[in-house]
Amino acid sequence: MNMKMKKDYELLSILLGLQISDDLRLNSLEDILQSPRAIHGIGQKKQEKIYALKEILERLLKLDKKQKITINTPKDIADILIPQYRYATQENFIIVLLNAKNNIISIEDIFKGSIDTSIAEPKEIFREALKYPTSAIILAHNHPSGDTTPSIEDIYVTKRIVEAGKILGIRILDHIIIGDNNFFSLKQNGLIEKES
C-alpha cells in the first residue's frame, strides 16, 4: 500500500477510521485541521486525535528547524547560550547534542549546582546523549561570577568526559564557559586535545 499516492482525506480516513464522506472529500487538509467538528463523522474523540496529530506535526517542524542550526565555531554556540545563562545565579551544566553534520539535535540542562559548583558525571551526560543519534557533544556551563577562567575541576571533568566519549564513539568538540556576555572555549585555548 503506497501511502504517498493517497489523497489527504484518504490518509485521514485511515488514521481516524472514518468513512470517506463528501464533507471529508471536499475540505482541504488545512480546513479539517482548523475545524474538525465541521466534518460529518468527526466527534469529540476523533477531534482530539486530529488536534494531537496537529501538535505532533508542529513539534516535528520545530525539531527540524532546530536541527538546521549548524555549529562551526565556539562563538556559534556561545551566541545561543549566553542570553539564557549569563545572569543565572547558580552554575548550570549544559550539553549541546549534535548530529554528524554538527546540526543541533537538542540542548539539555544536565545539572544545576551551587553558586560556584556544577559537577556533571559522564554517565549523566552520555545517558542523555544516547537517547538521540548523537555524533558529537559540546559541553557548557556558566560561571555566575562572570569570570570565565576555567577551574582545575572544570579541566579535570572535561578530560574525563572526553575519555568516556572516545569509548562510546561520541566526540566532545568543546567545553564552553559562559560569563557575563563573554565566553571561554577550552578547545580554542588548547585545554582539549585537537582531533587527529
Which residues form the domain of 171?
Answer: 74-185
Query: For the segment 70-91, what is each residue's pLDDT rounded down to a tens digit?
Result: 999 999 999 999 998 888 888 9
Query: What pLDDT does 10 receive?
Result: 81
Query: What pLDDT does 115 receive?
Result: 52
Burial class (CB in 10 A: 0-12, 13-18, 19+), 157: buried
- Looking at the structure, tell me whether residues 28 and 101 fall in a common domain: no
Strands 136-142 and 171-178: parallel
Tell me, yes or no, whether 193 lies in a domain.
no
**Residue of 65 and 70 predicted with greater confidence:** 70
Tell me, yes or no, whether 172 lies in a domain.
yes
Tell me, yes or no, whether 191 lies in a domain.
no
Per-residue pLDDT band at 1 (split at 50, 70, 90): low
- Does an H or E element contain 168, and which? helix 152-168
- Looking at the structure, tell me whether residues 78 and 9 fall in a common domain: no
- Looking at the structure, tell me whether residues 91 and 58 fall in a common domain: no
Tell me, yes or no, whether 192 lies in a domain.
no
**Residue of 97 and 2 predicted with greater confidence:** 97
- Looking at the structure, tell me whether residues 118 and 171 fall in a common domain: yes
**Last residue of a domain, which of 20, 49, 67?**
67
- Looking at the structure, tell me whether residues 131 and 99 fall in a common domain: yes
**Type of residue numbered 178:** I
**Last residue of a domain, which of 28, 45, 67?**
67
Q: How far apart are CA 181 and CA 86, in angstroms?
A: 6
For residue 32, give the C-alpha cell: 479539517
Query: What pLDDT does 17 receive?
Result: 80
- Looking at the structure, tell me whether residues 29 and 123 fall in a common domain: no
**Last residue of a domain, which of 15, 34, 67?**
67
Strands 92-98 and 183-185: unpaired
- Looking at the structure, tell me whether residues 42 and 136 fall in a common domain: no
Query: For the segment 153-174, what is each residue's pLDDT rounded down to a tens digit?
Result: 999 999 999 999 999 999 999 9
Query: What pLDDT does 92 receive?
Result: 92
| Beta-sheet strand order (sheet of 92-98) | 104-112, 92-98, 136-142, 171-178, 183-185
Q: How far apart are CA 150 and CA 5, in angstroms?
A: 57
3-class secondary structure, 116: coil
CA neighbours within 13 Å on the CB side: how many for 122? 16
Please say if the pLDDT value at position 180 is more than 60: yes
Helical pair 44-67 and 8-16, crossing angle rounded to 10 deg = 120
Residues 6+ apart with CB under 8 A from 2: none
User: Could you give the number of structural domains in the chain?
Assistant: 2
Tell me, yes or no, whether 99 lies in a domain.
yes
- Looking at the structure, tell me whether residues 101 and 140 fall in a common domain: yes
- Looking at the structure, tell me whether residues 33 and 86 fall in a common domain: no
Query: For the segment 122-149, what is each residue's pLDDT rounded down to a tens digit?
Result: 898 999 999 999 999 999 999 999 999 9
Tell me, yes or no, whether 53 lies in a domain.
yes
Q: What is the mean pLDDT of the chain?
A: 85
Query: What pLDDT does 169 receive?
Result: 95
CATH number at residue 96: 3.40.140.10
Tell me, yes or no, whether 47 lies in a domain.
yes
- Looking at the structure, tell me whether residues 101 and 171 fall in a common domain: yes
Percent of the chain past pLDDT 70, that is, above it, reads 89
Burial class (CB in 10 A: 0-12, 13-18, 19+), 119: middle
Q: Residue 121: count other Cβ atoms within 10 Å of its Cβ.
A: 15
Q: Which of these ranges, 17-21, 78-82, 109-113, 159-163, has the smallest mean pLDDT? A: 17-21
